Amino acid sequence: MTAQPLPQARRGRKASLLRTLGKLLAAAVMVAGLAAALLVLAGVFRAKVPQETHSVPPQTAEHLEVAEVRLVRRPRFESAVGTVRAVHEAAVASKLLAKVVEVRVRAGQPVSQDEILIRLDDADLQSRLEQAEAALRAAQAVRERAEADHERARRLVANRTISQAEFDQVAAAWRAAMAEAERASQAVQEARVVLEYATIRAPISGVVIDKRVEVGDTVTPGQVLLTLYDPARMQMVVSVRESLAQRLQVGQKVRGRLDALGHDCEATVSEIVPEAQAASRSFTVKVTGPCPPGVYSGMFGRIDIPLEEEELLVVPAAAVTRVGQLEMVDVVAEGTIERRSVQLGRRLEDHYEVLAGLAAGERVVLQRPRKKGRG
């Protein structure tokens, strides 16, 4: 066997290496082409903002309406949230162990004072009342006989027909009969009062909320059957942190708001509970005020507690132009107009609070034409 010449083996390895490099080069070219296509589709090679600028023709002050950036002082407030509650709210409970036989109201129904709301089974109470009335009639009969005996004995003892001891015995029987008749009368009154417990009446005029029983339920003494509240007098119960509670006093006027109704009103502090809640370190403050239609117990509200005044730099809202996400104003400086980016804060009616970009005394252009004939 003869060995393969060494130069021919080297040429084979070189050819294999060249083929591998060719494949890698072809793959690299394909990847580069694909990346270039993606960049073209993404618009990388196109200018996103035109390079040319447009000059604004100069304008004279006669054609512009300008306003001054001013420093103003205004009161500062901090809000405290609370819940609307009724000033007069009553929980109606049962005083008996009885079955509900009639429910005359539903949740949301207005009722008048002493109106019948619920009736309980009173058959046994009626029987007790009748027994008490029968016992009263028997006691009255005994009393009448004892009165007659006493009157007769009084005449006889005056004529010395009977002894004083016999008269004293008749008098004692008369007094006992009087006391028994009075006891029976009070028993009748008690039976009537207990019988009245079976008829649940409205303690106040108001609106029924949270009805908890239905016909057929058995109620127990002390069980709450329903709740009433007077919608004519409402209050807001607010939790105020202790540092702010010291700024309030009974009778003070504060601004109140009901967010659900979009209603603002002037409220009066009616009560400040002199005890802080240990968990939140806040005081309970109650405020009252005029109630608009549609106010219900449990609604969300807030009050504004006055603090010290604050100094703000403000610019008219009519001078602000929005360009994308930027807020711009046109500032008049030495007869020319300079468009400037500003940082604004809160909206204050027809002005904005200026956080950065303007200084007090600078003049800005209002973005509306001046009315003819106005100096």
Give the pLDDT of residue 50.
Answer: 46
pLDDT (average), residues 226-249: 88
- Is 197 in contact with 223 (CB distance < 8 Å)? no
Confidence band for 51, pLDDT divided at 50, 70 and 90: very low
Mean pLDDT of 121-138: 94
List the 110-111 sheet strands across, edge first. 89-93, 224-229, 206-209, 110-111
pLDDT of res. 45? 60
Domain boundaries in the chain?
Answer: 61-74+310-365, 81-87+230-306, 94-209
Please tell me the predicted confidence (pLDDT) of residue 42: 67
pLDDT at residue 373 in the model: 42
Expressed in angstroms, the distance from the first to the final Cα of the chain is: 119
Residues 190-211: pLDDT tens digits? 999 999 999 999 999 999 988 9
Q: Is the pLDDT of residue 24 over 90?
A: no
Arithmetic mean of pLDDT over the chain: 84
pLDDT digits (tens, 9 = 90+) for 314-328: 999 888 988 888 899
On the question of pLDDT at 281 being above 60, the answer is yes
Q: What DSSP letter does each residue of 259-313 carry, written as one string? A: TTTTEEEEEEEEEEEEEEETTTTEEEEEEE-PPPTT--TT-EEEEEEE---EEEE
Angle between helices 164-196 and 123-158 (to 10 degrees): 160
pLDDT tens-digit series, residues 150-190:
888 888 888 888 888 888 898 999 999 999 999 999 999 99
Q: What are phi and psi of 27, to 5 degrees?
A: -65, -40
Break the chain down into helix, strand, coil percent, rounded to 5.
30, 35, 35
Q: Let me know: does 366 contact 318? Beta carbons within 8 Å.
A: yes
State the pLDDT at residue 110.
Answer: 92
- Say yes or no: domain 94-209 is CATH 3.40.190.10: no
49-53, 303-307, 334-338, 341-345: the lowest-pLDDT one: 49-53
**% residues pLDDT > 70 (the chain):** 88
Instruction: CATH number for 61-74+310-365: choose from 2.10.60.10, 2.60.40.10, 2.40.420.20, 3.40.190.180.
Output: 2.40.420.20
282 SS3 class: strand
More confident residue, 42 or 142: 142
Higher pLDDT, 293 or 97: 97
Residue 213 pLDDT exceeds 50: yes
> For the segment 101-110, what is each residue's pLDDT rounded down to a tens digit?
999 999 889 9
CB 106 within 8 A of CB 117: no
Among the listed ranges 34-43, 83-92, 307-316, 337-346, which one has the minimum average pLDDT value? 34-43
Strand partners, 125: none
**In terms of DSSP bridges, do strands 234-241 and 98-103 run parallel, antiparallel, or are they unpaired?**
unpaired
- Would you say residue 7 has pLDDT above 80? no
How remote is the C-alpha of 103 from its chain's centroid? 30
CATH number of this structure's domain 81-87+230-306: 2.40.30.170
Calculate mean pLDDT across residues 336-357: 88
Which residues 6+ apart lie within 8 Å of 365 measured at CB?
64, 65, 66, 319, 329, 330, 331, 332, 337
Amino acid at 334: E
